[in-house]
Amino acid sequence: MPLESIRPIPTILALSLALTAPGAVAFEFPKLSSPAAQAVPPDVIAEYRRKLKVYQEARAAYYAEADTYWASIVEKRRGRNAKRRAHEATTLDDYVLTQPPVYVGPKRPVNPAPETEPQPPERPRDQKYVPVVTDLLKAAAEYYQWAPERPVNDIDFKRAYARFALSAGLTRQQAVRVYAFETGGNGTHASQSGFHGTHAISTAVGYNQLLTTNSVELLAEQGEGFVRILSQRAVNLSGAARRTMDQKIAVLQKMVAMARSVPDDWSEHEKIGDTPKGWALHAMVLDIDVGPMLQTHKLLTSVQFARERGFARPLTAAELEMMNLTGDGTGLDMVTMPQPMREQVATANFFQRSGYERNPVASHYNTVAKLLAITDQRMDANAMQPGAKELAAAF
């Protein structure tokens, strides 16, 4: 998935990072007491330590500048949110217009001798395990003794998605172009973001790349409606097909109850999504009956969100993608922004720091106007891929 949903970073956290950045405390040089280290000439060791100190000072200065910048992003966002609650218009003064600082100092020097202890990373990174599709299936089997009903061919899933999306109110252009952007134009119902053999960079799965939290949230908010739709379909089934559907409905009801067991809040849904029980709920995105509903409502909720807030014209696919990627409120902020402001406002205003720094698209196309333009361009190109053409034909 190219971008991350907005989850504001508390200012106190951003400021505390400045105090713990490398170089913000007394420098500690690596211990060089091994026999190999003792064989290195003293002048080489001294030169290494000199370069290391220069490097650490440069990194510390960069981190201090970056922490200040991202703290200002958070403060501006809070101000915009307060204005919206008061139904006040936002102006350029409500955004950070400069770009995030980039480290341009020296590289870390190479230690001339083996270090006795491994060096810590430059900054702590989130190392939590990212479940892949096989983990989702295993969790569904363990907690619900159930497996999603998968299509024989992906075209079957595309047809099911197209039928439901059209009936719910999405347009072919919106669905196909978002699919083209999210999956590169050739993704399947089980495509996972950054999947390489045994690992992935995100839990995002499917045509719209739903996160585990998205699945939990959609089941909590739309799940009862999904149960009603499946129950209506079950009336016309018999034999093995009816038994399969009845089991699916029973499992779905239990999953909806799980999703609704906490307050309807993103952070609460995220907590569930980060557990194996949440992975089991996320397995529903792979099911040929429920998966299209989840995919559709992920986009449809954005369309409805914009409409409820007075956005009268239909969202373009690129605008809908901004809401899909960054969250409805943040995405609508970009969508409703006048073109002159789009040309000046930095995309950093709409991302978490960690997500922005990992995303070359957001950092390279660094204004709202540039980001929307490249999104449209990639949709144009990827819509020519076989998978996107197949989905378009399904409509």
Domain count, the chain: 1
* Neighbouring-strand partners of residue 47: none
Tokens 């569930």 sit at which residue? 272
| Token pair recorded at residue 300 | 């449809």
Residue 362 is predicted with a pLDDT of: 84
Query: Is 6 within a domain?
Result: no
Query: Is 31 within a domain?
Result: no
Residue 193: CATH number of its domain: 1.10.530.10
Residue 8 has pLDDT above 70, yes or no: no
Residue 3 is predicted with a pLDDT of: 41
pLDDT per residue over 38-47, tens digit each?
Answer: 678 888 999 9
Terminal-residue alpha carbon distance, the chain: 24
CB atoms near residue 83 (< 10 Å): 14
Query: Is 7 within a domain?
Result: no
Distance from C-alpha of 385 to C-alpha of 383, rounded to nearest angstrom: 5
R_g of the chain computed on alpha carbons? 25
Q: Which of 33-42, 169-178, 298-307 has the lowest mean pLDDT?
A: 33-42
Q: Are the C-beta atoms of 8 and 353 separated by less than 8 Å?
A: no
Give Cα 216 distance to the centre of its chain: 15
Distance from C-alpha of 132 to C-alpha of 125, rounded to nearest angstrom: 20
Query: Is 258 within a domain?
Result: yes
Residue 247 CB-density burial (10 A; 0-12 exposed, 13-18 middle, 19+ buried): middle
Q: How confident is the model at residue 360 (pLDDT cuts 50, 70, 90)?
A: confident
Query: Is 53 within a domain?
Result: no
Mean model confidence pLDDT for the chain: 87
Q: Are the C-beta atoms of 8 and 78 separated by less than 8 Å?
A: yes
Distance from C-alpha of 312 to C-alpha of 375, rounded to nearest angstrom: 22
Q: How confident is the model at residue 15 (pLDDT cuts 50, 70, 90)?
A: very low
Query: Is 47 within a domain?
Result: no
Query: Is 216 within a domain?
Result: yes
Which domain range does residue 299 map to? 133-394
Query: Is 225 within a domain?
Result: yes
Q: Are the C-beta atoms of 176 and 391 separated by less than 8 Å?
A: yes
Q: What is the mean pLDDT of residues 254-276?
A: 94
Residue 196 is predicted with a pLDDT of: 83
Residue 116 has pLDDT above 70, yes or no: no
